[in-house]
Structure 1
């Protein structure tokens, strides 16, 4: 390739990264807003999160289309191929994070109008932990920071442990006061969605590791025993 072609190709790869950066920032903001809506019983904010999911989906489609175009026209090899394939995988993980944030917001809208509520404090703590992991892994992607990615990957067990604590806490509320059963059940689903967002953050860490080194992180992903409701 001549210098002009190389420069054009580099610009295209940079553009692909920038789309994912916008998408990741939007999904992170969606999650943060959904947690705020839960903590503050804010219907308006929850509705904005639900509406905003469409934009995350649009950016995912933009990544898919642009990456397929690059694969077809540039026929990349080695590191460039890993960068494009990794972008496809990471985009898919971010799109799922956005979906779970929207699901959280939808359940907020139900919770806010129940006659009897249950404590959301544990769920909010879990969400803040996971939100921090999402922020860290998106920063790691933009900075190509392998060490930070590995740190996120290694904290999946911490998320599972906190999720188990929240699960038992909510079961305890339901046992002590049957009037909280409906609200606590919705919170169990929310907690499970948040735990799954943590899984997607660690999936991004694995995809970034492969993108940079061409290998998966060594050893098994640290996992705690998870209990609770299905997705």
Structure 2
């Protein structure tokens, strides 16, 4: 195999490692919302324990990307592919961290505790953010800027739900002062989901950079 041919194999390996990290983050997102709904402390603890896999893979991606730059000294679009992989890896790893944070908040709320308020809007907010992650990874794989733009536009829905949830939770603090610890954790969870969506928008912006070679603000 030629040096150039091996380089393209290595670029594909880098992409596949990133998609594997994305899959780990998607699994954590799916588990953390079920953990919240069911107040499942055991599963929450498992999510926290499993996070080392995402951390380790993020480190592997960064190390592999740096090695490619050092060995191949890529230019133009190939260099962008490597830079984008590093940036997206960071965003995906942060999304996985937020799933861990939701698990920790669930533990603080407590196993078997009753819902103070219906959490359908929180679940809906999570589902949109989760879909955004899946679509953004597909946009990255396909280098599809149309899909990337759609993902960024979905962030408005998450922001709207975030505002609604926080307003409702703030109202409840007046009527249920004894439940402030639970209200606080639910507020944190809303914030974690909102930040997940922001990081997913970052992924979409990096897809634009990969394809167009220019930076675009998709969520201003």
Q: When the two structures are superposed, what TM-score results if normalisation uses the length of structure 1?
A: 0.90
Cα separation, 1, equivalents of 2:41 and 2:111: 10
Mapped contact 1:117–1:184 kept (Cα < 8 A): no
RMSD: 1.5
1:22 aligns with 2:24: no
- Count of residue pairs brought into register by the alignment: 219
Pair 1:186–1:9, CA change in 2 (3 A): same
1:70 to 26, 49, 68: 68
Displacement of 1:113:
4.2
Provide TM-score, normalisation by structure 2.
Answer: 0.94
Aligned match of 2:126: 127
For residue 96 of structure 2, the aligned residue among 98, 110, 134 is: 98
Given that 1:155 and 1:222 are in contact with CA atoms closer than 8 Å, whether structure 2 keeps it comes out as no
**What pairs up with 1:1-231 in 2 under 5 angstroms?**
4-113=2-111, 117-119=115-117, 120-217=119-216, 220-222=217-219
- Match in the other structure for 1:228: none
More moved, 118-127 vs 75-84: 118-127
Q: Deviations over 1:176-195 (max 9, x none)?
A: 22222110111101110110
Deviation of 1:83 (Å): 0.3
Contact 2:17 2:61 in 1 (8 A): yes
Q: 1:116–1:180: 8 Å Cα contact kept in structure 2?
A: no
Distance 1:80 1:36 in 2: 40
Contact map agreement 1:116 1:179 (CA 8 A) in 2: no
8 Å contact kept, 2:125–2:193: yes
Gaps of 5+ in 2: none
Return the offset for 1:208: 1.2
**Offset at residue 110 of structure 1 (A):** 1.2
| CA deviation after TM superposition for structure 1 residue 43, in Å | 1.5
Q: Secondary structure at the match of 1:155?
A: helix
Over 3 Å counting, the alpha-carbon distance change for 1:116 and 1:79 in structure 2 is: same
- Quote the offset at 1:114 in angstroms: 8.3
1:229 is aligned to: none
CA distance in 2, matches of 1:40, 1:117: 10
